[in-house]
Structures are given as C-alpha cells and as structure tokens.
Amino acid sequence: MLNKVKDSALAAVSQIWDGSTVLIGGFGLAGQPTELIDALIEHKARDLTIVSNNAGNGETGLALLLKEGCVKKIICSFPRQHDSYIFDELYRAGKIELEVVPQGTLAARIQAGGSGLGAIYTPTAYGTLLAEGKETRTIDGINYVLEYPIKADFALIKAYKGDRWGNLIYNKAARNFGPIMATASSHTIAQVSEVVELGELDPEHIVTPGIFVHDVVKIGAE
C-alpha cells in the first residue's frame, strides 16, 4: 500500500540537500507553504536557489528563509514589495543573487520544465532589459524571445486537501503556482490542511494528479 503522507514537515523537507533548486508556491502569502518553509529553516538548508513569484513578505515564510541565510539566489517576478525589506537589504548588500522573470514567462518556463519542452519562444519582454542578451526570432511578423525551461530538484507547495496517493485540490486563488510547480520538480512536497481517504476527491475535480506529488504533509492540529 502506497502512502505518500509523511509524519512531519521536517521529515519531508529533510530530503532537501544544500545547493538544490527549490520551487516554492504562492503569490504573496496566498498559497505559500509557510510550514514547509519553517521546516526548511529548521533543517538548516544552505545555498538554495529559490524559484517563487515573490521574495517574501514581512519576517515569516519565504522572508524568514532569506533572513536565515538559506538562499543563494532567487528567481522571481516581483521581489520588491512594501514589506519585502529583508530581501531588499540582502539584495542591496550583494548577499543574494536575483533573476527577475516576467510572471507569465516564469509560469511558461515552469510549464516547459514540467512538460519536457527544450525551449519556447514567447512574445513577452521582447525588446526590454529582461530579454537582453537573449536569442530572439520573428515568427509570422511577431517578435519572440527564446526562453529555457525551469526544472527543480524540489517543489514545496500548499494545497487544500490531499490523499495518500498525492492527489490534490486547492483553495481559491491559493492555487496559483502550485499545480505547475508540482510538474516541474523531481520531488514535490505538498502541505495540505486535510488528508482525505482515497476516493473522496472526485476524479473530475482533482487539480494535481498524484503522479506529480511525492510527499504529502498535513499541517495543523495533531
């Protein structure tokens, strides 16, 4: 009997090695796998390359991961926010590398990674600073930039409910990057609010099939 449900967040994230690339779900705080990130800090991970839409808010979650010195580089679309002072300080001190990627290109590169494409031509960012030095091509009169897939060693995502095979559903706009990040990593760890029995998730409603999920961690009351 296959059971992907892990006992604790720490047990799950302890598989993450120093220097690995980690996709972290969430858009701001919605969908951010805060408890998995906390465990990653406890695990004392180092030299991570993080791929996430933002670079953390306030002093929790992703921001705390940065503050604790776990992160070498961050690939994101929108690092600077009104409460991203931890990132801002590290960046200005030259203590963290930053790669800014347009949000849709970030999504498309993750999807390319998850679906085995070698590269894609996207119209976004053509002629801008973010396409500098990149290969371009005009196809049917439209200008495109060549972008390469993002693949990761791990993905940490937050879902709403999951079962022991790793099938997941999400809650509202907390879905955001979860489903696509799950596809683009060798090992996906999902935190869920509820673990349900096999068959409780309607096969028509499952958003992330278990094939993309390796560990499920229930967060909250024991």
Q: Does residue number 122 form part of the binding site for its own copies (CB under 8 A)?
A: yes
Helix (H) or strand (E) holding 49: strand 48-51
Site string for other proteins, 125-164 (x = CB under 8 A): xxxxxx------------x-------------------x-
| Residue 46 vs 80, nearer CB to other proteins | 80
Report the alpha-carbon distance of residue 155 to residue 12 in Å, rounded.
Answer: 11
Nearest alpha carbon to residue 156 among 7, 23, 19:
23
Partner that binds at residue 77, options other proteins, its own copies, none, CB closer than 5 to 8 Å by kind: other proteins
Angle at 207 between CA 201 and CA 212, to 5 degrees: 100
What residue type is 178 in one-letter code?
Answer: G
Report the alpha-carbon distance of residue 151 to residue 105 in Å, rounded.
Answer: 14
- Residue range at the interface with other proteins (CB under 8 A); choices 15-23, 43-51, 107-115, 133-141: 107-115
Minimum gap (Å) between residue 189 Cβ and other proteins: 16
132: Cβ–Cβ under 8 A, 6 or more apart, which residues?
none
- Binding other proteins by CB under 8 A: which of 20, 114, 161, 190? 114
CB atoms within 10 A of CB 197: 8
Structure tokens at 125: 């960012």
Q: Does residue number 117 form part of the binding site for its own copies (CB under 8 A)?
A: yes
| φ and ψ at residue 27, rounded to 5 degrees | -130, 105
Partner that binds at residue 88, options its own copies, other proteins, none, CB closer than 5 to 8 Å by kind: other proteins
β-sheet bridge partners, residue 217: 6, 191
Partner that binds at residue 13, options its own copies, other proteins, none, CB closer than 5 to 8 Å by kind: none
Tell me the CA end-to-end span of the chain in Å, nearest whole number. Answer: 23
Binding site for other proteins (CB under 8 A): 1-2, 27-31, 53, 77-81, 88, 91-92, 98, 100-108, 110-111, 113-117, 122-130, 143, 163, 165, 167, 170-180, 183-184, 198-199, 201, 203-204, 206-207, 209-212
Binding site for its own copies (CB under 8 A): 108, 112, 115-123, 137, 139-140, 142, 144, 148, 169-172, 202-205
